[in-house]
Chains A and B, each alone.
Chain A
């Protein structure tokens, strides 16, 4: 059973470009969570999605950031007009169908975004 997949593993973008980060949850999982880790800091919750629904985006910056989890395909975290402060590691996690507070979150290897 493949784990949570994230791609690309490393992404370099120039200021002003768009960054698209992909996350494929574990088979059978329908809940996806995105976290961001800034340098020298712990992970910070960004958004929680179920298929075709955003459940909680309280940790997402108000501008330039968006996330989706379509009926088919991976979850996408999109960052428009990237700035140097967006440089970070972005982790995706998934959990099985059911109350999110009950099930463990399984993490992917992360995508390291560097903005030059």
Chain B
């Protein structure tokens, strides 16, 4: 079945470091891809999304590019801040379905 795999955490970085969180997927068709973020004590928020191959989603300095050839949607940010500390979830949704299929989440810790 369809699935999402993302790198295990926690990922610990210093402030201003470059961030990559890997996400790969398996799907029978052409899904839409999402990154959600959960800050401590809050709900999941949509961070960015891409709906077709080669699309780049971006928000708050984060970017991810939909790569059909490698079935990947890696999350990147050029310079992280302490306030980026959170759990990041990669997810997919097939166009014909409302169910989101999720990765296990990656906890990101940014140290000053």
Interface residues of A (CB under 8 A from B): 3-4, 6, 33, 35, 37, 40-45, 48, 56, 59, 91, 93, 95, 100-101, 104-110
Main secondary structure of the interface of B (DSSP, over half): loop
Tell me the minimal C-beta distance from A29 to chain B in angstroms: 13
Residues of chain A lying within 8 A (CB to CB) of residue B43 = 3-4, 6, 91, 106-110
Q: Is the CB of B96 within 8 A of A105?
A: no
Q: Which of A35, A37, A100, A107 contacts B45 (CB 8 A)?
A: A107
Q: Is the CB of B41 within 8 A of A109?
A: yes
The chain A residue sitting closest to B104, CB to CB, is A42
Q: Does B46 reach chain A (CB closer than 8 Å)?
A: yes
Q: Is the CB of A33 within 8 A of B98?
A: yes
Nearest 8 pairs of A and B residues by beta carbon: A42-B102, A107-B44, A100-B98, A43-B102, A107-B43, A109-B43, A45-B99, A42-B104
Residues of chain B lying within 8 A (CB to CB) of residue A100 = 98
Q: Does B105 reach chain A (CB closer than 8 Å)?
A: yes
Cα–Cα distance between A46 and B89 once the two chains are bound (Å)? 18
A91-B44, A109-B43, A110-B43 known; A48-B98 Cβ under 8 A? yes
Cα–Cα distance between A48 and B98 once the two chains are bound (Å)? 9
The chain A residue sitting closest to B94, CB to CB, is A101
Q: Does B103 reach chain A (CB closer than 8 Å)?
A: yes
Cα–Cα distance between A4 and B42 once the two chains are bound (Å)? 10
Q: Is the CB of A42 within 8 A of B105?
A: yes
Q: Does B55 reach chain A (CB closer than 8 Å)?
A: no
Q: Is the CB of A42 within 8 A of B4?
A: yes
Which residues 72-106 in B have Cβ within 8 Å of A in the complex? 89, 91, 93, 95-105
Which residues 35-49 in B have Cβ within 8 Å of A in the complex? 36, 41-46
Q: Which of A42, A48, A101, A105 contacts B103 (CB 8 A)?
A: A42
